[in-house]
Structure 1
Amino acid sequence: MDAPDPLTVNWPSFLFAFLVDSLLVWVPVASVFFLAPGHQLPLAAGTVLAAVAANWTLYAHGTTLGTYLGGFRIRTRDGQAPGRTYGLILSLFTFASVPAIAVLIAITFAPGNNNATGLFGSPASYPLFGERTRRRRFLQAADDCWERLT
């Protein structure tokens, strides 16, 4: 008997987690510019590096604050934690959040990508997926709306 596939998360939940993790990088950096006017650049650079390093470690294990609030954890297709390489890529995406979303859209609509369905393509084409760990009441409406659109 085959084990049932784990419940995967929809894009609204992933984008919410991505936004929360991006805010964890950029809110402290922005506050440094207002709270420490004499030492802005060194403190901001140190804050960015510390936040990216923390996100790298958390993404490598598959659980960040954003994914916890979104009610899922990130796994590979084998069911393992993403590891250091995917963790670095995901943490750099949170560092450059707006260009990262543009890259995801460009990959989806690239010439020759015949299996793209919906806005970001088929979830089966990605090497990572979000496995639901608990119910997310405040994101359920967004997920339901996404299901109706796709």
Structure 2
Amino acid sequence: MNKKNKFEVIDNEKAEVNVDMEAKLREQLEAEIRAQIESEMKVKLEQEEKARKEAEEKLINYEKSMEKELEKQEKSFKNWLDEQPKVSIEIPEDPNNPNEVVPVGLNGVIYAIPTGKQFDVPKPIYDIWKYSHEETKKVNKRIRESVHKEIKISG
């Protein structure tokens, strides 16, 4: 082997070593970059999860405070209704509605009024039931009248 060939072999070996080192360095660098990205993504996901939990907690607290406020207003309105003059009411039994009570409500306060019995309710509750009853009678009358009318065909 002459001197020139000997140097070529050594240069080829050095080139192979350099290629191997370059590949190893590339792999190491890619692994470090991948680890860095994964770490950053993990931190970001944790921050987003924390923000989501905080938002959920705020929403739950807001809902609770609104429920308390609504309950307070309902109690206040219920107290106002209780202070109103009472009116005796007897809701007739209705074969089309076999329930033993008729619910009548105003601003979230519901009275379950028994049918076929005298019952004292605040005047505003009585007024609501009376209006509803009168409207129902009007509708029933129109239905009865429309059933008995002759159907006229013009032509």
Q: TM-score range by the shorter chain?
A: under 0.3
Larger helix share, 1 or 2 = 2
Higher relative contact order (CA closer than 8 Å, sequence separation 6+): 1
Q: TM-score, normalised by structure 2?
A: 0.21
- Work out which of the two has the higher radius of gyration on C-alpha atoms and give 1 or 2: 2
